[in-house]
Amino acid sequence: MYLCDELMTSELSMEVPVYCLDKCSEVTRRFFETYAHDADFVARSPGRVNIIGDHIDYCNFSVLPMAIDVEMLCAVRVLPHETSITLTNADPRFAQRQFDLPLEDSLGIDPATSDWSNYFKCGLLVAHKFLQAGSEPLHDVGMQVFCQGSVPTGGGLSSSAAFICATALATIRAHRGRDCVISKQDLTRITVDAEHYLGINNGGMDQCASVCGQRDHAMYVEFKPILKATPFPLPRGVQFVVSNTLVVSNKFETAPTNYNLRVVECTIAASIIAKRYGITLKGDRGPGDLRDVIDTYCDGLMPDLRSGLEGVDQGIARLATALDLVEETLGPKSKGYTTAEAADALGMSPAQFTTEYLTVFPVRFHTLQLYNRAKHVFSEALRVLLCLRLMTRPVTDTQRFLTTFGALMNESQSSCRDFCDCSCEETEQISQIALENGAYGSRLTGAGWGGCTISLCHGEESVLSVKKALHEQYYNKRFPHLSQRELEAAIIISKPEEGSALYEHCTAV
């Protein structure tokens, strides 16, 4: 957002790397046990945590995620001149699936049915469209696939995005052969909207972080004017404790009251602010309008974006102005809008309002929390820029850096709880335990409503202190019957990791 190209160097044009298949011995062994053949290759995409900047990517505001050391691996055997696709999951909860191509334009994706194969079909579908857009003939290619994931399902670490990105990469490799080349930019671009086929109106942060992750770097991900991911190094010794609340957050099943509703509320809030100040929004109404509103409004006040760090400061000033507009326009009804009140604010009848805003994605609500949602979006976007400004300046005092960065993470958690209403009791407890035992900052990550938290630590001592306290004060008390393996899986200690990759036989690399 607001940063000039002189400061930012995009990594999105880099090709997805290829490594030696020997690194994937377990998944290839299980593939052989399942299909009695060797896999041709493995496609990998990691999960991600968002360090800061949740529920703003679908409004086109920049975010600060990182890829982590959990992943989805898809071991694949290509079946030339066949149309059969067989999917096997290492997790026995997910039954084997088999289908034949073609299945019609949607590949048989049913948004009304929650089935793990839908995510594979989403990745398959966007990959097919990408190949066709490049004038490549879609010849018959079947696949046998063994999926092995270590990203907790429903944990808010983007298991769905990791699966879809790995699937899309695998599909393109299956069609293009061993000499497959695809840029990170293309893989990100085609997977960003994949979950829309499931009725989930997500932004693009998850896919971009999964594809473009870089070791020891946070990724500053921009969505306007173009999709761009730029790595920024974190100080030596920084680690993150990612803790699973074990409260499952299923975006698909809860979308009408949670995720999709937030998107709709942001869209309506943007429209009311735009009407109040005579701002004309371009194109179809969507959640990105909150970004458009403040950009359009401020273009007349501060039209010339400056270069370098001054550009960040100007972005901070714009967002401070945006928060003032929220108070003036939506503050008087901070308790919420009924459908009739929102329609009246836009000069519409309730029927017109319903058709315009409440029918694209299914939503359910008592009142529309427009003030709270807009306040969260603009203040969270502001915190991202404050973190970015911190990272782009020389770190002369590590302790001060950690304290300042941690405070911004804590403010983000408060906003997610009080204004986005996407936290929960378990998230609050884990965050508090982490802060009391050596973490500098702690907050939910991902969509919220359960899932995981992320806590900023420095050095092994603070990491071990936080982990020990969480075992004793949270997991042993709330989930006393967890096995040792389940307990270990509940906490991930990770630095930023690498993004998507292909693994081929060494002789061909």
| Unique residue bearing structure tokens 């929390």 | 369
The DSSP output letter for 445 is E
Exposure string for 277-293, b = 16+ CB within 10 A, e = fewer: eebebeeebbbbbbbbb
What is the CB neighbour count within 10 angstroms for residue 389? 15
The answer to whether 496 touches 391, Cβ cutoff 8 Å, is no
Residues whose CB falls within 8 Å of the CB of residue 44, separated by 6 or more in sequence, listed in order: 24, 71, 72, 73, 74, 166, 500, 501, 502, 503
Question: Given this model, what pLDDT does residue 311 score?
Answer: 77
| Structural contact between residues 184 and 15, judged by C-beta atoms closer than 8 angstroms | yes
- CA-nearest of 160, 245, 250, 153 to 482 is 245
Q: Which pLDDT tens digits describe the chain residue by residue (509 residues)?
A: 333 333 333 445 588 988 888 878 999 999 999 999 999 999 999 999 999 999 998 899 999 999 999 999 999 999 998 999 999 999 999 999 999 987 666 677 877 677 899 999 999 999 999 998 877 777 889 999 999 999 887 677 888 999 999 999 999 999 999 888 899 989 999 998 888 888 776 767 889 999 999 999 999 998 888 888 899 999 999 999 999 999 986 666 677 888 889 999 999 999 999 999 999 877 666 666 899 999 999 987 766 655 445 578 889 999 999 999 999 999 999 999 999 999 999 999 999 999 999 988 889 999 999 999 999 999 999 999 999 999 998 999 999 999 999 999 999 999 999 999 999 999 999 999 999 999 999 999 988 899 899 999 999 999 999 999 999 999 999 999 999 989 988 999 999 999 999 999 865 33
227 phi and psi angles, rounded to 5 deg: -70, 125
- Nearest C-alpha neighbor of 131 from the set 168, 101, 162, 104: 168
At 153 the pLDDT is 78
Residues in a beta bridge with 444: 453
The pLDDT of residue 349: 97
pLDDT at 508: 38
Question: 256 Cβ partners below 8 Å, 6+ apart?
Answer: 361, 362, 363, 364
- Centre a 10 Å sphere on the Cβ of residue 501 and count the other Cβ atoms it contains: 19
The pLDDT assigned to 123 comes to: 94
In this prediction, residue 4 carries a pLDDT of: 31
Residue 359 is classified by DSSP as: S
What confidence score (pLDDT) does residue 2 get? 32
Instruction: Give the start-end residues of each E strand in 329-451.
Output: 441-445
By DSSP bridging, strand 228-233 and strand 141-149 are unpaired
Structure tokens at 293: 């509103």
Measuring CA to CA, which residue among 263, 271, 287 is closest to residue 420? 263
H helix intervals, 249-300: 251-254, 259-276, 289-299
Backbone CA torsion sign across 330, 332, 334, 336: negative
Q: Could you list the active site residues?
A: 206
- Return the structure tokens found at 60: 């086109």
Tokens of 320: 């401070």
**Four-CA torsion 419, 424, 426, 431, nearest 10 degrees:** -10
Residues in the chain: 509
